[in-house]
Amino acid sequence: MEEVIREESVRLPRLGEKAPEFEAVTTQGKLKLSDFKGSWLILFSHPADFTPVCTTEFIGFAEIYDELQKRNVHLMGLSIDSVYSHISWVRNIEEKFGIKIPFPVIADLNKEVAKLYGMIMPGESKTETSRCVFLIDPEGILRAMIYYPLTTGRNMDEILRIIDALQTTDKHHVATPANWRPGDKVIVPPPATQEAAEERLKQGFECKDWYFCKKKMEG
Ligand code: BEZ
């Protein structure tokens, strides 16, 4: 008889939808997603405490913490480890690397939050969360998701870059081109009608054609 492989059905969160609400035990006490309403939140998972790649990532997140705060962005980690393990690991990072971990870390022992966000990739590991990053805006909408494999540490510059790009998009109603960095020209969203296309070419933007216009950001 054909073998039936049953996988727990998980509905992955999707961009543009409300991020799933949760309440969780963290290294800074019980926290809910809704506690962060009005601020951006980066919710990220790591495979396990006391592992080397994750340690470099925690140091990386601590190093961009001040830059995130300037942008009204909170940070919260998660793994399927106990709060005692988290406490012991962050104390070890401080002792061995001289870096204090300023953000809370969820102890998701029953995998409740991990399942809600689809952080477990059974093909990679059935017992650990993958390296997921969820960017949630001040209205609680999921704006970006990044997934890295177990063996690849995340790029903190890219995470900051996406925050900068999303905040620029929201504030100025523009889009950002490949490899955009703050200060670079931005993309004027393409016109939706023939008339708007004609107008677009008269508006003083730097256009290659009616659909491809850039402009400098003021301020
Ligand atoms: C690490 O963080 O070093 C690691 C964790 C899980 C698998 C491979 C590496």
Q: Is the CB of 121 under 6 A from ligand 1?
A: no
pTM of the model: 0.93
Parallel/antiparallel/unpaired status of strands 186-188 and 29-32: unpaired
Q: Which CATH number applies to 2-154?
A: 3.40.30.10
pLDDT digits (tens, 9 = 90+) for 138-194: 999 999 999 999 999 999 999 999 999 999 999 999 999 999 999 999 999 989 999
Across 66-95, average pLDDT? 98
Instruction: Identify which of 50, 85, 150 to mutate to test ligand 1's pocket (most ligand atoms within 8 A of the CB).
Output: 150
Please confirm, yes or no, whether 54 is among the known catalytic residues.
yes
**In the chain, domain spans:** 2-154, 173-219
Q: Domain 173-219: which topology? A: Antioxidant, Horf6; Chain A, domain 2 (3.30.1020)
C-alpha gyration radius of the chain: 20
For the cut 70, the answer to whether the pLDDT of residue 5 exceeds it is no
pLDDT averaged over the chain? 94
| Distance separating alpha carbons of residues 212 and 67, to the nearest angstrom | 32
